[in-house]
């Protein structure tokens, strides 16, 4: 099986030993607490689950600045996005070397992790802006990732953590949330060697379905892991339970048994386009995938990124040998009326735009909200029904 990023074996930060776990929970109740923001809490969940291997905790300011500018830590570890814990108020933990980190997304703010504090550093407004522009390629406050990143505060708390909870993800998505450890184990149990990962924050329509099938066939893969984001999204995105239901129905009806794993991970969407695509590659390698599908406008939002920037970054900014996972490059996929099947548009010779079944997201949402199913060439009827039920329920 493919090795994790940066180490020979996966080193999740979740404390699995029951005695040690219980002792840390007990200790945490005696420690000063820091209530995390959602982004820092999601980072803790990803660290605990092994997705951010080989990191041992939150980065300090030097590493964060280095990663933002050069995609590597000060000691040379390749990493595309700073993994940090920012806050606006550290008065409750000042002077303490060991603290409890509390979960902002669960009622009662239970302990999420215990942290050994290496440093509490002030981050200037200029440093925050510089990092934001390097990560997101823009400082536009309308960009949801920029808005989140620049509003977290200017105190950076760094150090190793021991993770004690996976927040709300296990309880809310018991059949879908999986750690990198669990996915690696299941890949091994299935005997898969070549494994394709498909990233999604949306329901999957025909084009996505066929793209997964194309990747499996062209790569000669043993299986595909559909790996959906379960954390926070921007306003207007489809909620995770609805996406989950759509994807499971599609796999159940239209894929051969034992060729697809439907899983999810506990992270908030960054909408960082190319940088987030590279982060996706890092943590898919950690979960055991050998290939990641990177399509048009991967992890993008609005018009901030070029259609294929998330592919070219792997050529221009990722050093040779930095990652073992490989990229399956995909163009926009759509149903060809001429060929009567879904194709990559750049591979369809002698086609005009009208030869494809193309619907805008706005048009699809309008149809679904009115109880009108998109054509079967665009969306499977079983998936469309789930989405129609959801959109109509939001109008009641």
Q: Is 156 left (phi over 0), alpha (psi -120 to 50) or beta?
A: beta
What residues act catalytically?
Answer: 201-202
The answer to whether the peptide bond before residue 131 is cis (omega within 30 degrees of 0) is no
Cα distance between residue 92 and residue 70, in whole Å: 33
How far from 241 is each of 38, 118, 188, 266, 378, CA to CA, in Å?
A: 19, 38, 28, 13, 21
Give the DSSP per-residue string, 310-322: HHHHHHHTS-TTS
Contacts of 140 (CB under 8 A, 6+ apart): 146, 304
Sole residue written with tokens 């007990």: 26
Contacts of 353 (CB under 8 A, 6+ apart): none
- Alpha helices by DSSP H, 4-101: 18-28, 38-48, 61-70
**55 touches 156 (CB < 8 A):** no
The DSSP bridge partners found for residue 343 are 334
Query: Minimal CA–CA distance to 266: which of 18, 21, 43?
Result: 43
Query: Minimal CA–CA distance to 209: which of 377, 367, 327?
Result: 377
Cα distance between residue 375 and residue 372, in whole Å: 9
Q: Which two tokens stand for residue 121?
A: 């550093």
Query: Minimal CA–CA distance to 156: which of 60, 239, 231, 294?
Result: 60
Radius of gyration of the chain (CA): 21
How far from 336 is each of 278, 294, 349, 357, 385, CA to CA, in Å?
A: 31, 21, 11, 7, 23
């Amino acid at each position: 099986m493919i090795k994790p990023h940066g180490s020979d074996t996966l080193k999740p930060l979740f404390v699995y030993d029951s005695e040690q776990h219980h002792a840390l929970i007990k200790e945490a109740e005696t420690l000063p607490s820091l209530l995390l923001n959602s982004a820092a809490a999601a980072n803790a969940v990803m660290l605990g689950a092994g997705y951010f291997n080989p990191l041992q905790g939150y980065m300090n300011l030097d590493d964060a600045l280095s990663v933002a500018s050069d995609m590597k830590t000060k000691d040379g570890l390749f990493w595309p996005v700073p993994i940090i814990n920012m806050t606006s108020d550290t008065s409750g933990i000042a002077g303490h070397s060991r603290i409890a980190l509390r979960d902002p997304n669960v009622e009662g703010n239970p302990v999420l992790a215990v942290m050994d504090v290496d440093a509490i550093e002030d981050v200037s407004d200029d440093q925050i802006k510089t990092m934001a522009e390097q990560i997101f390629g823009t400082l536009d406050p309308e960009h949801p990732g920029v808005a989140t990143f620049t509003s977290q505060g200017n105190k950076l708390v760094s150090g190793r953590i021991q993770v004690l909870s996976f927040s709300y993800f296990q309880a809310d998505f018991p059949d879908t949330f999986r750690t990198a450890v669990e996915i690696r184990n299941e890949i091994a149990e299935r005997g898969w060697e070549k494994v394709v990962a498909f990233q999604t924050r949306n329901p999957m329509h025909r084009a996505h379905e066929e793209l997964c099938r194309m990747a499996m066939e062209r790569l000669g893969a043993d299986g595909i892991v559909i790996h959906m984001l379960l954390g926070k999204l921007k306003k207007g995105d489809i909620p995770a339970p609805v996406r989950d239901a759509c994807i499971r129905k599609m796999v159940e009806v239209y894929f051969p048994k034992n060729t697809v794993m439907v899983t999810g991970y506990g992270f908030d969407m960054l909408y960082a386009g190319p940088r987030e695509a590279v982060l996706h590659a890092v943590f898919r390698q950690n979960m055991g995938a050998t290939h990641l599908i990177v399509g048009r406008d991967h992890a993008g939002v609005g018009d901030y990124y070029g259609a294929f920037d998330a592919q070219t970054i792997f050529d221009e900014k990722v050093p040779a040998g930095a990652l073992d996972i490989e990229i399956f490059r995909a163009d926009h996929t759509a149903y060809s009326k001429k060929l009567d099947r879904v194709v990559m548009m750049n591979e369809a010779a002698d086609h005009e735009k009208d030869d494809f079944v193309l619907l805008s997201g706005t048009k699809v949402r309008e149809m679904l909200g009115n109880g009108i199913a998109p054509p079967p060439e665009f969306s499977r009827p079983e998936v469309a029904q789930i989405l129609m039920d959801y959109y109509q329920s939001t109008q009641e």
